[in-house]
Structure formats: structure tokens, C-alpha cells
Amino acid sequence: MKFFVDTADTAEIRDLASSGLLDGVTTNPSLIAKAGGDFFDILKDICDAVDGPVSAEVTAVDAASMIAEGEKLAKLADNIAVKVPLTLDGLKACRHLSDQGTMVNVTLCFSAVQALMAGKAGATFISPFVGRLDDISQDGMKLIEDIRQIYNNYEEINTEILVASIRNPTHVLRSALLGADVCTIPPAVLRQLVQHPLTDRGLEAFLADWAKTGQSIT
């Protein structure tokens, strides 16, 4: 499974990228606004910080304008993935941009049928929002299971399942068990993935025992 980080904080991105575990970045207008600064400068910095896909979202709502914005965004860097909403106009834009060789991330997916439509439109990634479904008492991970089964049924669909709106490590675990291709994860949750109290206790015990020897490796 690939790990993307869901943020526009370039310092956070560079720190996580230094681990060698980061495969890409997703942004959206809300994250860009939170980061502050010039939209294009932020995206360029992020694209320089990672080798993998960087999702940059259009703000238009009609197909022609989405395509124009998408083409402009795609020129920023080779690893830009243009992010479009899962609307009919968004799917029209997806098809046009995909046919031009541009990576496209279709976002705001809340049903398996929507994901099927995105696959038919040539999306590189489909972003189902599991946390937002959980918020309204639906099972977000059931959506991932359904999309995985549908995509497995049709070898002509090459769209990757990019699990979004992740709230906790359990979402990541269940996504991996279900065979999702990517999880885009908030920085705080991504850091939680390596944490376990028994790991901390074990390390403390090892270090305490080593200190008693009075020795040093360096």
C-alpha cells in the first residue's frame, strides 16, 4: 500500500518524506488556505519535496473551466495529479485530462457506483471519504470493500483506490486488509502508525539495561 499525506504544510511534508515512507501528497482548497501563502508557490514546493503524485484541486464547477484549470495545474510539475469533484462535469474533465496523459484524482466519492463511473472516465485515483460516511452512521470501510470488488471484476479499470478522510490507524489497517491501493493520511495519524506502548516499554528496558554496562557503541 502507498502512503500519501493529506496536508499542504511543506515543512511537515519534508519531514515525513525524509522517512522514505511517503509516496505522495494530497491537498485541497481548505488545506491550501490553512497553509497560507501563494497557491502555486505552495504546490511547487510540495512537488519538489516528493517524487510521487501531488493532488492539486480545481475550484471551477463546469467542465470547460475545470479543464482549463487542470491544464494549468498540470504544467506546474510532472507529478501533479489534477483533482476534480465527482460530478458529471468533473467526470467530463477527468476524461479529457486523462486522455491528455494527466493524472486525475476524482474526489468526494461516497458510493460504489460513483467509483465505477470514475473508473470508466479514466481516473488515475478515486478518493472515497470513509470518515465522512462514518460521521453519518454509515460504514465507510464497506464502501472500500465494494469498490475493490467492482474494480477487480473489470480488468479494463486501472483506477487506484485512494482512501481519504482517514481519522485513525484502524482506517488504515482495514484499508490494507481490503486491498486498497493508497491511503491519504493526516500527518498526526501517519505518525501514530509507528506507535505502540509495548514498543516504547521495550525500548526503555533495553536502554536501561545498556546504561548499566557503562559502555558506548560510538
Residue appearing with cell numbers 499525506: 5
Arithmetic mean of pLDDT, 107-128? 98
**What does the block give as the cell for 101?**
496523459
> What are φ and ψ of residue 196, in 5° steps?
-155, 135
Is domain 2-213 classified as CATH 3.90.45.10?
no
CB 121 within 8 A of CB 95: yes
Cα–Cα distance measured from residue 35 to residue 30, given in angstroms and rounded to the nearest whole number: 9
Q: What is the structure's pLDDT at 202?
A: 97
Question: Where do the domains of the chain lie?
Answer: 2-213
Arithmetic mean of pLDDT, 78-100? 98
Q: What residues act catalytically?
A: 83
Q: What is the structure's pLDDT at 127?
A: 98
Around Cβ 133, how many Cβ atoms within 10 Å? 19
Cα–Cα distance measured from residue 31 to residue 56, given in angstroms and rounded to the nearest whole number: 11
Around Cβ 207, how many Cβ atoms within 10 Å? 9
pTM for the predicted model, two decimal places = 0.95
Task: Give the residues across from 128 on adjacent strands.
Answer: 109
Q: In angstroms, what CA-CA distances link 78 with 39, 74, 103, 159?
A: 17, 7, 9, 19
> Nearest to residue 161, comparing CAs of 179, 188, 185?
179
Q: What is the structure's pLDDT at 65?
A: 98
CB 65 within 8 A of CB 92: no
Percent with pLDDT over 70 in the chain: 100
Residues in CB range of 84: below 8 A, 6 or more apart = 57, 58, 66, 70, 90, 91, 93, 94, 97, 104, 105, 106, 107
Instruction: Name the average pLDDT for the chain.
Output: 97
